[in-house]
Structure 1
Amino acid sequence: MSDLTIEQVEVVPFAIPYRKPLHFASGEVRTADHVLVRVRTAGGLVGHAEAPPRPYTYGETQASIVAVVEQLFAPALVGTGALDREEHRARLSRTVGNPTAKAALDMAVWDVIGQALDQPVHRLLGGYAASMRVSHMLGFDRPEVMVAEAQRMIEEHGVRTFKVKVGQQPYTLDVAVVRALREAFGDTVELYVDGNRGWTASDSARALAEMADLGLTLAEELNPADDVLGRRWLVERCPVPFVADESATTPAEVTREILGRSATAISIKTARTGFSESQRVLHLAEGLGVEVVMGNQIDGQVGTLCSVVFGAAHRATSRRAGELSNFLDMSDDLLAEPLTISDGELAVPAGPGLGLRLDEDKLARYRQDA
């Protein structure tokens, strides 16, 4: 095995426009202002991952991710071994917050370990399935526009599970959109809703009642978790699993939300918990007896690849369709071999590590620090 001492940590900010703005209750995204993280070892191995900043959710920006990695996290990791993952966790946890920066470093290190062992990270994590069913996020728009987008995803990619963004106009547009989708596709599609904390508890209860005949399978973050009593009141009345997403980003928060009866299911996003912390969240959820769904941080293809590697590796995360299609909304991407969704599924790459290969010309074109 080559020398696995971490010799360098590099961050490359890049920007790729979306084909159209993505709208949801907590904000909108027009450009993927992300950060590519590279971990290099003394033996010549290079691990990659993607950090997508979401300032309106976690407080991180592209500039803050670059700064915290260069100033604090890289010095903490250089000189350690790639296998010293628990030591990495201890050192990075001295700095509060910065979840996507920490997650990207963790996944890049796992990429190095897989390459060193000549094994896919997917197998090292569990290797349960070779692919995952895909759920597509439908952002805010008029009902006819969202129906047309769903039809396109069905025809072009075979996707039949849709996460519908709500949280703005509960008694008019939001419910109308979900109803239009159900009327257009009947029982041939799965629908669930995500409010991004945009409704109140009473708005949420009324909207759920108005959608009671639409066969929803999940309801995610309809109102803020900080509305403690209102959230508990709502969850008690919710007829489907109530998913904690941005309110449950650590094992401690998962414990708080589930035991506090503020959620009955958990969204796992490798973009904010990497592979190591995502396994902690998953195992805790299994121990508490709650369902999980693989979420998406509006990742590019590098981040989406990490999500499917983790999600397909475990039985519990493979049960539901994972949110793995947002990269299709980007006008370009960084992989030399682009991801492909076929028959509603995304396959796990077969190569060692994460199995990815970057298009260096594209990275040079989109990087922001050159």
Structure 2
Amino acid sequence: MKITRIEAIPFSIPYRKPLRFASGQVTDAEHVLVRVHTDDGVVGTAEAPPRPFTYGETQASIIAVIDGVFAPQIVGISPLERENIHARLNRTVANPTAKSAIDMAIWDVIGQSVGAPVTELLGGYGNHMRVSHMVGFAEPSEMVAEAGRMRDAFGITTFKVKVGRRPIDRDVAACRALREALGDDIELYIDGNRGWTPAESARALRAMADLDLQFAEELCPADDVLGRRWLVTQSTIPMFADESVSRPGEVTRELLGGAATGISIKTARTGFTYSQRVLFQCEGMGVDVVMGNQIDSQIGTLCTLAFGAAFELTSRRAGELSNFLDMSDDLLAEPLQIRNGVLRVRDGHGLGIEIDEDKLTHYRQDS
């Protein structure tokens, strides 16, 4: 079996409301659908969600690098030659989501070809994950109402709170309102998207010391090297790295440098192959992980779920698997369903991604 063609199809689906965080705002899911075709007729599918304010990629740059650089390098190769494929992709620096989408689509090809779910090929630990939902950058009453709806409608009891605004008192008040309104039965953690200084972060953590936060994620920039190390010494909860760990070498740097005590794994930026390497690094060092989300559609959510359910360590915490609920529509022929706070891996071979071709025709931007 050989790879014969790689498609990079731009599409855009509006969000129900703008999604805001300290590093930026998005109003539409302007993603790229990636399809890897083989001479056996098998087609693997994934998506690349560009985040220019985080990794520097845009929808146009992802299409350009796939069409002009990556596809010519790997067409004609067997999808089983994953190390050869990554060696060729890594001749080009950066472009993490473009590389990751190709990697995940190739795993989908392999799963379909051997008649097994990708989750089983990766590790086969389980077939589901608990779901975490993101709230933030709104009035406390709005955030409480949204979290309450998610709990009542979908059984979600873990919430990621976007913080990083100034003054910090606004975010502290929002977290306090969530805890007071929803009680001790929910799990809360915060994500600053690099919005605070180390000193501001320490002050905010002190102000929220009684809220039983699970952990804090990327409160200040990776370039605040000494400040991040100092913040870890001040914190009584785990400090997770996210945007600062886009590849295994950065994971090593953040952990050994003392700038983080936990890692967010996002398949959108490390695919399945490099997400495995990150996971095994963390497992070997006794470091906790969480499955993050790149504001993925249901396609990317299925990929995160497939990986997270495959391993015991990634299954411990609720995964960020509900961002697709903020989208006005999606491309999957059979929509995902969150029930009792849980998402289940799709039955069948590969990733179980079936695209609604009519919707793709409607939302694609290259025709």
Report the TM-score when normalising by structure 1: 0.99
Gap runs ≥5 in structure 1: none
Give distance in 1, aligned partners of 2:337 and 2:362: 23
Q: State the match for 1:256 in structure 2.
A: 253
Give distance in 2, aligned partners of 1:170 and 1:336: 44
Gap runs ≥5 in structure 2: none
Q: How does 1:324-363 map to 2 (within 5 A)?
A: 324-363=321-360
One-letter amino acid of the counterpart of residue 44, structure 2? G
Give distance in 2, aligned partners of 1:356 and 1:98: 23
Q: Which of 51, 54, 67 in structure 2 is aligned with 1:54?
A: 51
SS at the partner of 1:19?
A: strand
- Residues 229-262 of structure 1, C-alpha deviations (whole Å, 9 max, x = no match): 1110001111111000010111100000000000
Give distance in 1, aligned partners of 2:329 and 2:136: 19
Give distance in 1, aligned partners of 2:53 and 2:155: 32
One-letter amino acid of the counterpart of residue 241, structure 1? P
Q: Which of 9, 13, 16 in structure 2 is aligned with 1:12?
A: 9
Q: Is the 8 A contact 1:24 1:139 kept in 2?
A: yes
SS at the partner of 2:184?
A: helix
* 1:199 paired to 2:199: no
Give distance in 1, aligned partners of 2:127 and 2:110: 20
Q: Is the 8 A contact 1:170 1:203 kept in 2?
A: no
Q: Is the 8 A contact 1:170 1:204 kept in 2?
A: no
Q: State the match for 1:85 in structure 2.
A: 82
SS at the partner of 2:309?
A: helix
* 1:225 paired to 2:219: no
Q: Flag the 1:104–1:324 CA change in 2: closer, same or farther, 3 A.
A: same
Q: State the match for 1:63 in structure 2.
A: 60
Matched pairs, number: 367
Give distance in 1, aligned partners of 2:272 and 2:211: 35
Q: Is the 8 A contact 1:6 1:81 kept in 2?
A: yes
* 1:102 paired to 2:92: no
Q: State the match for 2:293 in structure 1.
A: 296
Q: State the match for 1:162 in structure 2.
A: 159
Give distance in 2, aligned partners of 1:361 and 1:236: 53
Report the TM-score when normalising by structure 2: 0.99
SS at the partner of 1:342?
A: coil
* 1:284 paired to 2:304: no
- Residues 118-175 of structure 1, C-alpha deviations (whole Å, 9 max, x = no match): 1000100011111000000113100000000000000110000000000012532100
Q: State the match for 1:208 in structure 2.
A: 205
Q: State the match for 1:246 in structure 2.
A: 243
Give distance in 1, aligned partners of 2:169 and 2:213: 18
SS at the partner of 2:152?
A: helix
Q: State the match for 1:182 in structure 2.
A: 179
* 1:153 paired to 2:150: yes
- Residues 157-194 of structure 1, C-alpha deviations (whole Å, 9 max, x = no match): 00000000000125321000000000001101100000
Q: Is the 8 A contact 1:135 1:162 kept in 2?
A: yes
Give the aligned CA root-mean-square deviation in angstroms.
0.6
* 1:44 paired to 2:41: yes
Give distance in 1, aligned partners of 2:361 and 2:229: 49
Give distance in 1, aligned partners of 2:5 and 2:184: 52
One-letter amino acid of the counterpart of residue 91, structure 2? R
Give distance in 1, aligned partners of 2:327 and 2:64: 25
SS at the partner of 1:293?
A: strand
Regions of 4+ moved over 4 Å: none
| Percent of residue pairs bearing the same amino acid type | 66
Give distance in 2, aligned partners of 1:357 and 1:165: 32
* 1:130 paired to 2:109: no
Give distance in 2, aligned partners of 1:355 and 1:218: 32
One-letter amino acid of the counterpart of residue 145, structure 2? A
One-letter amino acid of the counterpart of residue 146, structure 1? M
